[in-house]
Amino acid sequence: MKTIQFTFFSMLALMCLHAQAQFKVNTKSIKAATTAAKAVTLSDDEVIGYAKEYMVWMDENNPVAPDDDELAQRLAKLTSGLTDYDGLNLNFKVYLVRDVNAFACADGSVRVCAGLMQVMDDNEVLGVIGHEIGHVKNKDSKDAFRTALLSSALKDGVGSQGGTAGALSDSKLGELGTAVANSSFSRSQESAADLYGYALLRAQDVNPWYMATAFESLAEQSEGAEKASTMQRLMSSHPDTEKRIKVMSEKATKEGFEKPAK
C-alpha cells in the first residue's frame, strides 16, 4: 500500500491540468518592490537556466517517487521514448502527493502527481502528459515562467549577473513559486495544448479519444465531495472543460475512432 504524503503546499498552478496543484512553495508573501522596476530582459537561455534551478528546488522539496516505486515504474513505461520528443529534451517524475494534477516547466520537466495517476488509466495519463508537453513545445511554459521571474520580487535580482542565471536563494525560489502559482494560460493556449496532446496520442498509436476521457475523469472527480476543494480549484482553472471534452471527442469521432469502453 502506497503512502501518499500530505502536501504542505500552498497553491501553485504551474499549469496544467494544472490546476492548482498544491506543490510546495514558500508562503512568504512577496514584498512589493520599492525600487523602480528595472528594465530587465531575459534571454531564452536565461529563462531555461532559472527553470532548471527552480525544478531542482521543486524536486528537493516535494516527495519524488523513487525508481522502484510502482507509479514511478508505470510512468517510466508510459513515457519511454518521450524523453527526446519533437525536438524537446523532456524528463518525467511522479510526485507522491494526492493532487489530481500534472505540470510541465519551461526546461522540459514534466511532473505528474500520484493522485492523477490513480484516477486515470495509462492512455489518459499519456493524454495529459501530451497536453503538458504541448505547453512546452508552444513555449507557453517559457513565457509564463519568464513572466513569473520578472513579476516576482526577483525582478531586482534576475538578470543582474551579467547574462547568466545566478544561483537563487531558497527565499527567492519560494517567491518565484508564488509568482508561478499566480500565472495561468489563456483559453487559446489550452486549446492548442489539447490538440498537441491529441496528436501525441495518435503518434503513439493510442486512440485519441482518451484525451476526452481524461477530461471526463477530471469532471467526475470534481463531483466527489472528498476532493472537492482541490477539484474545484482545478476545474475553476479550466472552466471550459465541457467544451474541451466536446471538441476532443468530436475530433476523434470525425477521424474514425470509437469511444473506448471504460
What are the residues binding Zn ion (CB under 5 A)? Answer: 16, 190, 193
| Beta strands 109-113 and 91-95, pairing class | parallel
| CB of 40 closer than 8 Å to CB of 147 | no
170, three cell numbers: 531558497
Quote the radius of gyration of the chain (alpha carbons, Å): 18
* Cβ-based nearer residue to Zn ion, 46 or 190: 190
Q: Which residues contact 143 (CB under 8 A, 6 or more apart)?
A: none
89, three cell numbers: 529534451
Set 53, 132, 190, 216: catalytic member: 132
* Cβ-based nearer residue to Zn ion, 114 or 192: 192
* Cβ-based nearer residue to Zn ion, 42 or 218: 218
Neighbours of 251 (CB within 10 A): 17
Nearest distance in Å: CB 151, Zn ion:
20
* Cβ-based nearer residue to Zn ion, 94 or 102: 102
Nearest distance in Å: CB 187, Zn ion:
10
In Å, how far are 34, 104, 150 from 160, measured between CA atoms? Answer: 17, 26, 12
Q: Which amino acid is at 140?
A: D
Nearest distance in Å: CB 17, Zn ion:
6
**Catalytic: 132?**
yes
105, three cell numbers: 516547466
Nearest distance in Å: CB 231, Zn ion:
16
- Angle at CA of residue 49, ends 162 and 67, nearest 5°: 155
Write out the catalytic residue numbers.
132
